[in-house]
Amino acid sequence: MGARVIKILVGWTLGLCLVCWRRTCRYRVVNDPRSRLRARGTPYIYSLPHAHQVAAVFVNDESRGRLAAMVSRSRDGDLLVPSLTLRGVKVARGSTRKHGRDKGGRTAAMALGDLLMQGIPVLFAVDGPRGPRNHVNRGVADLARRAHAPILPTVVLPSRRWILAKTWDRFQIPQPFCTLSLIFADPIVARDGEGSEALRERVAEAMNELERRYDPVEAARALGD
């Protein structure tokens, strides 16, 4: 059996396990702006840390087929895709790596922009796929400006979790029977004449403040990295 087939089987097995795992968890929402945006028919972008992706899949409460996400063309991305698919998330594969070498990121970003303009919210891991940890990349700002979509700075924090301390982002996995907190800062909308870099900086400030307020131990570790 080839390595690719094994990887696919592992990914789908993990995805099925996560679906069952998620049913043991509860979740709560803090400062949720989405009902107002949905009532106006405004699509939006979830801006969250790469380390919170599994928790974000757990708490996805968008209607099936009404959420999209960019996933890197990496081994970690291959393992995540089945879980997203089983949770009804549309997946665009791609990422940009060091030295500007594009790995399908531009094509994936274009696809996400098209979905946003069709009214489908997008999930964006802003410091992925390679970090540095907690550094908001410009892609989320470019996407928001192109689609005229508000950005929702978001963290998803399990009451009990495993943290993979040797990964670059200290990747987090919710433990069974935990409570997951889906926490939003106020929506961020591009101002008239505002460039992507200025918008990116505002998103980074909001993301850092969320972590400092709700996850201070991990916020302190990020400052020490």
For 180-201, how does the pLDDT look when each residue is reduced to its tens digit (9 = 90+)?
999 999 999 999 999 999 999 9
Residue-wise pLDDT for 212-222, tens only, equals 999 999 998 87
Residue 4 to residue 178: CA distance in whole angstroms: 33
**Window from 157-161, 164-168, 220-224 with minimum mean pLDDT:** 220-224
DSSP states of 158-218 as a string? Answer: ESSEEEETTSTT-EEEEPTT-EEEEEEPPPB-PPTT--HHHHHHHHHHHHHHHHHHH-HHH
- Provide the pLDDT confidence category of residue 9 given band limits of 50, 70 and 90: confident
Residue-wise pLDDT for 60-116, tens only, equals 888 776 899 887 776 666 777 887 888 888 888 776 554 455 555 678 888 888 999
Q: What is the pTM of this model?
A: 0.88
Q: Given a cut of 90, is residue 38 above it in pLDDT?
A: yes
User: Is 133:193 a contact under the CB 8 Å cutoff?
Assistant: no
Find the distance separating the first CA and the last CA of the chain, reported in whole Å.
40
Q: Given a cut of 80, is residue 21 above it in pLDDT?
A: yes
User: Nearest 5°: phi and psi at 17?
Assistant: -65, -40
User: Is 57:83 a contact under the CB 8 Å cutoff?
Assistant: yes
User: Is 154:48 a contact under the CB 8 Å cutoff?
Assistant: yes
